[in-house]
Copies of this chain bind each other. A is one copy, B any other.
Amino acid sequence: MSKNSAKKIINDPLKCADELFEGLVLAYDGKARKVGRRSIVMNELRPDAPALLVGGGAGHEPIYHGLVGPGMADGAAIGDIFAAPPPDIVLEATEAVNRGKGVLYLYGNYAGDVLNFDLGAELAEEEGITVKTVIINDDVCSAPPSEKSKRRGVAGLVPVVKLAGAAAQTVDTLEELARIAQKAVDHTRSVGVSTKPGSIPATGEPTFELADDVIGLGMGIHGEKGVGLIPMCTADELAPKILDLLFADDLELNAGDEIVFFVNSLGSTHMMELLILLRAARPILEAKGLKVHQTILDNIVTCQEMAGVSFSITKLDDELKRLWDLPCESVGYTKL
């Protein structure tokens, strides 16, 4: 057992991914089941429908594997801590969710995920399963709009998976599902900041350094560099900085537009701070004429030990709004 300086309640730090997976299967109370080595799949799947498969590395719970459920994803392929799932896990999950109508892979834009899901797709195609892929790249600060393929996927994945999950309950073809998922991605942008570094359970070491008097503006969910470091500041100062970056991006936001506004905590930032940030952000959204159709405040996209927040905006058109309003349930996000 390696040392673990982060004072976490775990067992063998090298077995965290396997053990949290076993816990997750139990958390679904019999509604989802373990498949193969490390996939989780709903027991009741809508017959003859295209499937929605999500996935990614562990250590960011409850995403992605906590987003499986009615009105959310059909299943998830789960990797090790901070590591995309290997191709054979992608394959086992693909086979289990497929109902003859093909499978949509929906995941965040990281080299490892792209490589492994692509390898998994090749294996699945060999088994005669049609696969389509939509990659989530909502992180505004990771590349300019002209280089969107370089953008990471961060907290915006929650509204995207919710919308795609609703679509998976209603559409009949993989093409339609992929179209809507891609639209949800195209309509979603996020900007995050970090105040305290994360850690990997196996080492317990902070994965990056951040002085006490600075905030990483535009940082990714592993602490990847963003726009730069800014002096530690108040919620009232920070909210407009984040929103300015969102407004400056290429998602057009006009007066009258309806949005989902998601304030995510990276895990060690508490709800009190999310509420105080929401108080700072809402008047700015309103001043721009945006109508918040739904607010989400939660820690759904996290990183071990890390503190920080992100704002995500998803612009709803009529189709997305209809899908948004459908109920969903999962370990990570539930809506009546």
- Residues of A in contact with B (beta carbons under 8 Å apart): 7-11, 16, 19-24, 26-27, 29, 58-59, 61-62, 66, 70, 195-196, 201, 212, 232, 234-236, 238, 267-280, 282, 292-295, 297, 299, 302, 304-305, 307, 309, 327-329, 331, 334-336
The reply to whether A11 and B236 contact each other, CB–CB distance below 8 Å, is yes
With A70-B336, A329-B336, A336-B334: A276-B234 Cβ-Cβ less than 8 Å:
no
Chain B residues closer than 8 Å to A21, beta-carbon distance:
275
The reply to whether B294 and A10 contact each other, CB–CB distance below 8 Å, is no
Chain B residues closer than 8 Å to A282, beta-carbon distance:
26
Q: Chain B's nearest CB lies how many Å from the CB of A17?
A: 9
The reply to whether B275 and A9 contact each other, CB–CB distance below 8 Å, is no
Copies of this protein, total: 2
A269–B201 Cα distance when bound, in Å, is 13
21 A-B contacts, Cβ less than 8 Å apart?
Answer: A7-B307, A8-B272, A9-B195, A9-B276, A10-B235, A10-B276, A19-B276, A19-B279, A23-B277, A26-B278, A26-B295, A27-B275, A27-B295, A29-B295, A58-B272, A61-B270, A61-B275, A267-B270, A270-B305, A334-B335, A334-B336
Q: Chain B's nearest CB lies how many Å from the CB of A158?
A: 14
Chain B residues closer than 8 Å to A327, beta-carbon distance:
336
The reply to whether B302 and A270 contact each other, CB–CB distance below 8 Å, is yes
A195–B9 Cα distance when bound, in Å, is 9
With A66-B271, A329-B336, A336-B70: A278-B27 Cβ-Cβ less than 8 Å:
yes
Of the residues B24, B29, B292, B295, contact of A275 by C-beta under 8 Å: B24
A275–B57 Cα distance when bound, in Å, is 15
Chain B residues closer than 8 Å to A61, beta-carbon distance:
270-272, 275
Chain B residues closer than 8 Å to A329, beta-carbon distance:
335-336
The reply to whether B309 and A9 contact each other, CB–CB distance below 8 Å, is yes
Chain A interface, DSSP helix/strand/loop, else mixed: mixed
Q: Chain B's nearest CB lies how many Å from the CB of A218?
A: 15
The reply to whether A20 and B302 contact each other, CB–CB distance below 8 Å, is no
Chain B residues closer than 8 Å to A299, beta-carbon distance:
271, 299
Chain B residues closer than 8 Å to A267, beta-carbon distance:
268, 270-271
Q: Chain B's nearest CB lies how many Å from the CB of A238?
A: 6
With A279-B22, A292-B29: A273-B8 Cβ-Cβ less than 8 Å:
yes
The reply to whether A272 and B336 contact each other, CB–CB distance below 8 Å, is no
The reply to whether A16 and B201 contact each other, CB–CB distance below 8 Å, is no
Residue of B nearest to A285 (CB): B26
A59–B276 Cα distance when bound, in Å, is 12
Q: Chain B's nearest CB lies how many Å from the CB of A169?
A: 13
With A295-B27, A304-B272, A305-B270: A9-B334 Cβ-Cβ less than 8 Å:
no
A272–B280 Cα distance when bound, in Å, is 30
The reply to whether B336 and A27 contact each other, CB–CB distance below 8 Å, is no
Chain B residues closer than 8 Å to A305, beta-carbon distance:
270
Closest 8 CB pairs of A and B: A23-B275, A61-B271, A23-B279, A20-B275, A329-B336, A23-B278, A22-B279, A11-B234
Chain B residues closer than 8 Å to A307, beta-carbon distance:
7
The reply to whether A304 and B334 contact each other, CB–CB distance below 8 Å, is no
The reply to whether B232 and A29 contact each other, CB–CB distance below 8 Å, is no
With A29-B294, A295-B26, A335-B334: A7-B232 Cβ-Cβ less than 8 Å:
yes
